[in-house]
């Protein structure tokens, strides 16, 4: 593997959700450890699954992998990191400040922006605190999907710049002195990220146009914040061992066309191509096979048959959504499972049935225009753009709260609004407006990958609690959270793949949602090989891996749809319409 030749101390694996970053990062850590290096594998993904891959519990503390000498893992769990962060802030002042003031500080540290900064605090210590992790030859970062990762990698520079202005007043983080103490660590983290001798960027992608365009965008954005160079890994390419049936031929042709049109900014990077394997990348033997070529013998080991899969058309879900005449539809799930495609297909179907529909996304890495590939009558398309939302929010606060302030007060307020913590608040305001629209017509929302969405829902819950506290029983009110909890007005659809990790993550998301009294209305399994009814041994082996997961989802779901892996990508109105027009047919 080119990307593992003479590797520096830090390796970052990033890319669009669902491309296999975790598998490639875990296999890389395993390879380096087998070569006698001491390796720490770190996940910065709020929805991490390193533990599932290795078959053990990995949390917010360094955990040795018993079967692999020299290899340890760490998952920067947002909630655990936030709790530890709160304790570091509160412990020194317990017994000094009155309980009412302590309670106020604790409340200010309960929001989603504190959760993000707590994770960031852990991340920068890994990069900037050489003494604490000196024993490791390599630290490998398995990052969150692209949009969240860009945000995380920007934070060291953002907070370094923010602290350099001398800000020290309390903010949504509580006392900023807790951050100021780590200013030197943040500065060293920025230096490490920008030094190619210390940090190597590994861009993981699939041989798909959308994935390759996303990896180019990532590369260019990282260049802008000082992270240059990089290696490209094209993962999951269908091997010749998959056979010559029409579905396999069509998929290989799609991949070849995508590779031939690889975007210019990343076309010249050192490149490795990894073949799709018959089984899932769970367990050490599977990880050890990832960098080896697939053989015809591997495919032959697949079962000659697998349990029949009953068709479950997406059209039936559209019928249920349409019944109320308006409402909010939220497609949620792990990055890379096809939320954008499912959301676009539902929106197009509702629009073609004569309804006014607003299709929007909260995903920084989503590009609805590329999926729709043109306009659709009755359909309005938008994106909740974090940069625009932040700019609008700052202007709003200055025009309202800052209107009556003197010059010194306005300057202090403007400085406080430059805090990276304002981002979640700004995006939440835009989100709330879209939720309100669903009272009049259909709003279909393509959400960000799981971890980022939970942060947004946390902000929604924080706002609800604050309004409840202020209003009390004096008058009636309806918050965005209450609208999300309304099973008639809001229909949450969990989108997943028929694979172990995406289903586990969707199940965990279901639990998190129900804790907030938001009940998933339906589940969709996307890109199912089993639903395509393949004939070649290789694809049938892949399909057999799906059977248990399809059964598991059916048992959890009140409503269910199954979308087969298609020979052509569902891009454009006609192909999106086909997803909801009829029951899937056997080939």
Which residues are tagged catalytic? 18, 20-23, 45, 501
Ramachandran bin of 175, using left for φ above 0, alpha for ψ from -120 to 50, beta for the remaining angles: beta
Residue 553 and residue 523 in contact, taking contact as beta carbons nearer than 8 Å:
yes
CA distance 62 to 51: 12
Q: How many helices (H) does the chain have, and how many strands (E)?
A: 24, 15
Q: Which residues pair with 64 in a beta bridge?
A: 72
**Which pair of structure tokens corresponds to residue 517?**
């009294």
Q: Which residues pair with 43 in a beta bridge?
A: 75, 142
Residue 31 and residue 137 in contact, taking contact as beta carbons nearer than 8 Å:
no
CA distance 587 to 568: 14
Residue 219 and residue 271 in contact, taking contact as beta carbons nearer than 8 Å:
no
Helix (H) or strand (E) holding 232: strand 231-237
Residue 362 and residue 453 in contact, taking contact as beta carbons nearer than 8 Å:
yes
Sign of CA dihedral 299, 301, 304, 305: negative
CA distance 32 to 281: 18
Residue 200 and residue 269 in contact, taking contact as beta carbons nearer than 8 Å:
no
Q: What is the largest CA-CA distance in the chain?
A: 78
Sequence-distant (6+) residues with CB within 8 A of 267 are none
- The closest of 537, 568, 564, 550 to 279, measured between CA atoms, is 537
Residue 71 and residue 103 in contact, taking contact as beta carbons nearer than 8 Å:
no
Distances (CA, A) of 316 to 295, 349, 443, 527, 583: 41, 11, 18, 18, 9
**Which pair of structure tokens corresponds to residue 301?**
């080991």
- The closest of 45, 47, 65, 46 to 55, measured between CA atoms, is 65
Give SS3 for 183: helix
What does the H/E/C string look like for 19-46? Answer: CCHHHHHHHHHHHHHHCCCCEEEEECCC
Map tokens 């409340």 to a residue.
Answer: 107
Q: In degrees to the nearest 10, what's the CA dihedral of 453, 459, 461, 466?
A: -170
């Amino acid at each position: 593997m080119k990307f593992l030749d003479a590797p520096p101390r830090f390796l970052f694996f990033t890319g669009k959700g669902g491309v296999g970053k975790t598998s490639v990062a875990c296999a890389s850590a395993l390879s380096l450890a087998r070569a006698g290096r001491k390796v720490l594998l770190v996940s910065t993904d709020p929805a991490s699954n390193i533990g599932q891959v290795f078959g053990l519990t990995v949390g917010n503390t360094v955990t040795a992998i018993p079967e692999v000498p020299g290899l340890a893992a760490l998952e920067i769990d947002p909630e655990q990191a936030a709790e530890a962060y709160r304790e570091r802030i509160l412990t020194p002042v317990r017994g000094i400040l009155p309980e009412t003031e302590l309670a106020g500080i604790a409340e200010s540290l309960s929001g989603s922006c504190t959760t993000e900064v707590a994770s960031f605090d852990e991340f920068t210590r890994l990069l900037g605190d050489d003494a604490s992790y000196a024993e490791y030859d390599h630290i490998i970062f398995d990052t969150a999907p692209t949009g969240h990762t860009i945000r995380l990698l920007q934070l060291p520079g953002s907070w370094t710049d923010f602290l350099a202005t001398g800000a020290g007043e309390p903010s949504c983080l509580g006392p900023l002195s807790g951050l100021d103490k780590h200013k030197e660590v943040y500065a060293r983290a920025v230096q490490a990220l920008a030094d190619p001798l210390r940090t190597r960027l590994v861009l993981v992608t699939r041989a798909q146009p959308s994935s390759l365009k996303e990896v180019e965008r990532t590369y260019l954005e990282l260049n802008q914040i000082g992270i240059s160079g990089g290696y490209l890994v094209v993962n999951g390419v269908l091997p010749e061992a998959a056979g010559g049936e029409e579905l396999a031929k069509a998929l290989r042709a799609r991949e070849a066309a995508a590779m031939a049109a690889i975007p210019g900014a990343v076309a010249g990077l050192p490149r490795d191509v990894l073949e799709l394997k018959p089984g899932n990348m769970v367990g050490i033997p599977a990880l050890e096979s990832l960098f080896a070529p697939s053989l015809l013998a591997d495919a032959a080991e697949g079962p000659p048959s697998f349990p029949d899969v009953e068709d479950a058309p997406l059209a039936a879900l559209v019928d249920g959504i349409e019944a109320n005449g308006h409402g909010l539809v939220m497609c949620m799930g792990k990055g890379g499972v096809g939320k954008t495609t499912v959301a676009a297909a539902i929106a197009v179907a509702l629009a073609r049935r004569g309804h006014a529909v607003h299709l929007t996304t909260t995903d920084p890495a989503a590009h609805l225009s590329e999926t729709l590939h043109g306009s659709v009558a009755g359909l309005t398309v938008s994106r909740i753009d974090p940069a625009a939302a932040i700019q609008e929010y700052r202007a709003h606060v200055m025009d309202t709260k800052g209107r009556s302030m003197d010059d010194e007060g306005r300057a202090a307020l403007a400085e406080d609004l430059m805090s990276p913590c304002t981002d979640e608040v700004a995006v939440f305001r835009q989100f709330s407006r879209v939720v309100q629209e669903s009272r009049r017509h259909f709003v279909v929302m393509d959400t960000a990958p799981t971890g980022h969405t939970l942060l947004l829902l946390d902000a929604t819950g924080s706002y609800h609690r604050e309004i409840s506290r202020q209003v009390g029983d004096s008058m009636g009110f309806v918050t965005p959270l209450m609208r999300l909890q309304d099973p008639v007005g809001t229909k949450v659809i969990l989108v997943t793949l028929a694979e172990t990790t995406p289903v586990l993550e969707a199940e965990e998301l279901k639990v998190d949602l129900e804790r907030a009294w938001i009940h998933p209305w339906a589940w969709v399994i996307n890109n199912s090989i089993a639903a395509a009814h393949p004939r070649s041994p290789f694809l049938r082996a892949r399909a057999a891996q799906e059977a248990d997961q399809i059964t598991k989802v059916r048992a959890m779901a009140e409503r269910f749809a199954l979308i087969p892996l298609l020979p052509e990508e569902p891009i454009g109105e006609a192909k999106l319409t086909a997803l909801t027009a009829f029951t899937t047919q056997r080939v």
